[in-house]
């Protein structure tokens, strides 16, 4: 049981390049989330998916797109990377039972845009 996995772990992009961050969970969770973490700002929600086939914007969606490929996988795409998108990106998932309001996090992707 791997939990939430993310690829790649590290990535360096030039301004204007595109890339997709991959996330998968094996806990049969319905909801999945993408956050970015910047110093002194905590984690900010980029996009989320409450269930397979649905996606919604979070607090900071500009410059990003997402795809909920199936129940397990939720990818984040940067179409034209900018230096302001240098950050650590975390994927998370959550079950729907009352006891499962907590989210489970992946190990993160460190992205640098030069």
- The site for another protein (CB under 8 A) is made up of 4, 33, 40-45, 48, 58, 90, 92, 98-99, 101-108
Beta bridge partners of 109: 89
Closest CA to 104 of 14, 12, 8, 5: 5
Neighbours of 89 (CB within 10 A): 23
Query: Least distance to another protein from the beta carbon of 91, Å?
Result: 9
Name, in order, each residue with C-beta under 8 angstroms of 49's C-beta and a sequence gap of 6 or more. 31, 32, 33, 55, 56, 66, 68, 74
Q: Kindly state the smallest distance separating residue 16's Cβ from another protein, in Å.
A: 28
**Between 13 and 47, CB nearer to another protein:** 47
For the CB of residue 82, give the shortest distance to another protein in the complex, in Å: 23
Minimum CB distance to another protein smaller for 33 or for 74: 33
**Residue with Cβ nearer another protein (9 or 14):** 9
């Amino acid at each position: 049981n791997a939990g939430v996995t993310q690829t790649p772990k590290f990535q360096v992009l030039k301004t204007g390049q595109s890339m997709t961050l991959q996330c998968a969970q094996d806990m049969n969770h319905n909801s999945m989330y993408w956050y970015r973490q910047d110093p002194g700002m905590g984690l900010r929600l980029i996009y989320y998916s409450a269930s397979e086939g649905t996606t919604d914007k979070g607090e900071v969606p500009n410059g990003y797109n997402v795809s909920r490929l199936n129940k397990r996988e939720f990818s984040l795409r940067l179409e034209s990377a900018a230096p302001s998108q240098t950050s650590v990106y975390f994927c998370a998932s959550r079950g729907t039972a009352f006891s499962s309001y907590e989210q489970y996090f992946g190990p993160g992707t460190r992205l640098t845009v030069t």
